[in-house]
Amino acid sequence: MSDRPGPTGPAGEASLRTQLEGIIERLPSGSMSLGELLAVIGDEGLLVLSILLTLVFLIPVSIPGVSTVFGAAILLVGLSRLSGRPLWVPKKLADRQLPADRLRPALTGGMAWVRRLERISRPHRMPGLVDGRAMHVFNSLAFIFAALLLMAPFGFVPFSNTIPAIALLLYAVGFIQRDGGAVLLGHLATIGTVVYFSVLIGGGGLALTHLWQRFAG
């Protein structure tokens, strides 16, 4: 797979939005496995796959278990980019069944984010943030970290999936467009996720301590 398809590309090449809409339309009815979803993606590109997998988290629809499966797939995309090797998905993960009928409307709703990013993203903006081996490694590690945050077991908490998904979407669009501005926003969204999770964990710890003191006293 090529991981650098152009969102707008030369004449005759589909835009990123058109590619994603086509993939969503090709989803089968009923349930499907992650492996079947990868087959639907075809050779559109690893980053296009990552964008597709983040869309479901950008609207207020809860699909149990999806954050773990999709987060793991995005994590593998990040590892593939970091190592420079083809994407490999464990059979157990590839065979995981997903509700295609529920995914389609969620993915379609998330497309609004792609439309916005296509309007504001600028190819080759702030190139120092995307060019060179050192930045490639740093950005790939940040991408992997954001995927781990997406997999964190806070799915019941509002925005716990949305914020890391926004970071991953910004990273993917930034990598495709060679847009350092989008990548920078992705870093900021990742930092925001860490702060948000820290507040959740800290607040939860304080609440438990208060309850313990209350009942123990």
Structure tokens at 182: 């989008």
Asked if 111 contacts 176 with a C-beta cutoff of 8 angstroms, the reply is no
- Percent of the chain whose predicted confidence (pLDDT) is above 70: 82
User: What mean pLDDT is reported for the chain?
Assistant: 81
Can you give the pLDDT at residue 14?
A: 59
3-state secondary structure of 33: strand
- Give the domain extent around 156: 16-216
Higher pLDDT, 76 or 25: 76
Output 105 or 193, whichever has higher pLDDT.
Answer: 193
DSSP structure class, residue 32 = E
In a domain, 171, yes or no: yes
Name which of 154, 188, 185, 160 is nearest 60 in CA terms: 160
pLDDT for the residue 2 = 41
**In this structure, are residues 182 and 174 in contact, taking their beta carbons and an 8 Å threshold?**
yes
Give the residue-averaged pLDDT of 158-163: 84
The answer to the question of residue 100 being in a domain is yes
* Residue carrying the six token digits 């301590």: 209
Examine residue 11 and state whether it is found in any structural domain, yes or no.
Answer: no
pLDDT value of position 5:
41
Q: What is the b/e burial string over 175-190, where b = at least 16 CB atoms within 10 angstroms of the residue's CB?
A: bbbbbbbbbbbbbebb
The pLDDT, as a whole number, for residue 45 is 73
The answer to whether residues 187 and 141 touch, using CB atoms and an 8 Å cutoff, is no
Q: Is the pLDDT of residue 1 over 60?
A: no
Contact 146, 161 (CB under 8 A): no
In one-letter notation, the amino acid at residue 16 is L
pLDDT of 13 higher than 60: no
| pLDDT given at position 62 | 60
Distance, in Å, from the CA atom of 161 to the CA atom of 70, rounded to the nearest integer, reads 11
Return the structure tokens found at 22: 């086509």
Q: Which are the contacts of 174, defined by CB distance < 8 A and separation ≥ 6?
A: 121, 130, 180, 181, 182, 183, 184, 185, 186
Return the pLDDT at 201: 84
What is the tens place of the pLDDT at every residue in 165-201?
999 999 999 998 899 999 999 999 999 999 999 988 8
pLDDT of residue 125: 93
Q: State the Cα–Cα distance between residues 17 and 24, nearest whole angstrom.
A: 11
Q: Token pair for residue 82?
A: 């970091």
Count of structural domains within the chain: 1
- Domain assignment of residue 195, yes or no: yes
Q: Which residue is it, tokens 């209350």?
A: 214
Q: 56: helix, coil or strand?
A: coil
Task: Answer yes or no: is 67 within a domain.
Answer: yes
pLDDT of residue 206: 66
Hey, which residues does 97 pair with through a beta bridge? Answer: 33
Band (207; pLDDT cuts 50, 70, 90): low
